A and B are shown apart, each in its own frame.
Chain A
Amino acid sequence: MSTTTVTPEAVEAVIFEALKGFGVEEDLLSRDAEITALDIDSLDLAELAQVLDDELGVEIKGDDVKGITLVSDLIDRVVAKAA
């Protein structure tokens, strides 16, 4: 696990890097982007949860991301979970 501080900026950086790894084009990456518009699937999200655990030490489970539509929502949820 990394010692990166769990700030919104740190979470954004980790999420954006992971999304790029899933093939999301860089110009689509923004906090306002709808997750469903990024052409990622549920398996990508499962892998993203592992990335967040590895890089930030934040464990995200299925219930934690219910109702999330925007990337900013996900960032906020991760920051809240780390608090």
Chain B
Amino acid sequence: MSTITTEPITTADSGAVAVKAPALVTGGSRGIGAATARALAAAGHPVAVAYRSGADEALAVVASIEEIGGRAVAVQADITDPDADVRLFEGAAEGLGDKVLVLVNNAGVRFDGLTAQLDDAGWDATIDTNLSAAFRLTRRALGPMLRARHGRIVNVSSIAGLRANAGQPAYAAAKAGLMAFTSTAAVEVARRGVTINAVAPGFIATDMTADLPTDEIARSIPARRLGTPQEIAAAIAFLVSDDAAYITGTTLVIDGGLSA
């Protein structure tokens, strides 16, 4: 998947790849979010790289997009802030020159603990960041999409929402909820040319899995390895593309066969 970051973007001026609708990617400073920002930029989308605290990392993603001829801007907000949607969407529109018509709800946190011991703060933070914030940003995104008769939203869920992992009750509930929210919202807006889908990655080599016994996990995966952020980003870029216009309300599992 190295082409995403190494091939120059062919701009509309050269006639090969038209500049497409602006995109906003939450959690865009690292991991799956950073890879997605780069993949969407490579497909011709101006990209707003939303981040909470990793300013240097977000700016590095922006720089890497600009190096290959793309357009990007970093926008900061804590998505658990009720006003974050205003900051992110106005910042993106200001920086990219037009309204966001592609939203990737990728930002996530994981507070693990057995149900018998997980505290309220861990539960609430996990639900708020992974699920409630995705709802608020989707709500904000839909108005312009409805008016434009075009829009793409991709929610980054997880196979944790499909199969049980002891110690992840909040994360599982949030990610399962995100899939249910995805399908419900999708049917509401399908007739306006807006698609809403989810991806459910399995174990992907990112900061979020760095604390896990990855060698042991890899042996349990039919593909015998963890996935890469670029592999998830490629699927998201496809769901955002015109080729995926008839795909909506679904969750694409990307897990090397783990849940097959």
Q: Which residues of A contact B (CB under 8 A)?
A: 43, 46-47, 49-51, 53-54
Contacts and interface: CB of A to CB of B under 8 A. Distances in A.
Interface in B165-193: 188-189, 191-192
Contacts of A53: 143
B142 interface: yes
Contacts of B192: 43, 47
How would you classify the secondary structure of chain A's contact residues: helix, strand, loop or mixed? helix
A53 B139 CA distance: 14
Contact of A50 (B144, B188, B189): B144
19 contacts: A43-B146, A43-B188, A43-B189, A43-B191, A46-B142, A46-B143, A46-B146, A47-B143, A47-B146, A47-B147, A47-B192, A49-B143, A50-B143, A50-B144, A50-B146, A51-B147, A53-B143, A54-B144, A54-B147
Interface string B127-143: 00000000000000011
Given A46-B146, A50-B147, 8 more contacts: A43-B188, A46-B142, A47-B146, A47-B147, A50-B144, A53-B143, A54-B144, A54-B147
A53 B147 CA distance: 11
A78 B188 CA distance: 25
Contacts of B146: 43, 46-47, 50
Nearest to A59: B143
A50 B142 CA distance: 9
7 closest residue pairs by CB, A with B: A50-B143, A47-B146, A50-B147, A47-B147, A50-B146, A46-B146, A50-B144
A4 to B, nearest CB: 17
Contacts of A51: 147
B196 to A, nearest CB: 14
A43 B192 CA distance: 9
